[in-house]
Amino acid sequence: MNALDREELLAIIGQHGGTTPGLAPLGDGDGLRHARRLERVNPTCGDRVDLALTVEDGVAVLRGAASGCTLSRASASLLAATVRSMAPRDAAALLAVLVPAREVGRPLDRSALPRLTGVGADGPAPGSDEAFVQDSCAGPLLALAELAVAPLRRRCILLPWTAAQTLLEARR
């Protein structure tokens, strides 16, 4: 993990799992009329996500609701906050790295992380850990992908990620 230690990560997970600040609620706005929407449930524990994907000004926006355990809600919130600054193709590329690593509980292949758009020329190199840390949610999102958890808890983290991945793939 980057500069985050385990205690800091757990505090961030608690914050995002409590109120899901990164996940904007589903509204009745015009933008959502054309949104792709997907609901997924983890039958093992009852975690549930209901996500909608829109693209606004060239960036992916995830809205929705997450219920269930803190890990699942935090996972949805951190992902939504991170992709809010990314083009859909970059968000899909990020999930293509996060999901397989989390599924098998292995460290991220940091060399496979996508180059991100929107990182300033004088900022950190695109695709570097420092570029992710510039956004206050991206660093914890990467750390969550590598957090040591029991195999059944991996599903809690993966539920919103695989739902978002499906939405992004359907958009192509």
pLDDT of amino acid 31 = 60
148: phi then psi, degrees, rounded to nearest 5: -75, 115
For residue 89, which of 114, 121, 112 has the smallest C-alpha distance? 114
Q: Is the domain defined by 6-171 classed in CATH 3.30.420.40? A: no
Side-chain half-sphere exposure of 24, counting CA atoms within 13 A: 16
Cross-sheet strand order for the sheet of 59-67 = 36-41, 48-56, 59-67
pTM reported for the whole predicted model:
0.85
For 83-120, give one letter per residue: b (16+ CB within 10 A) or e. bbbbbbebbbbbbebbbebbeeeeebeeeebbebeebe
Residues of the chain with pLDDT under 70: 1-3, 28-34, 115-135
CB neighbours of residue 172 within 10 Å:
7
For residue 81, which of 67, 100, 66, 68 has the smallest C-alpha distance? 66
The span from the CA of 108 to the CA of 92, in Å, is 16
pLDDT of amino acid 110 = 79
pLDDT of amino acid 138 = 83
pLDDT of amino acid 120 = 31
C-alpha distances in angstroms, 83 versus 5, 13, 44, 116, 117? 23, 17, 27, 10, 11
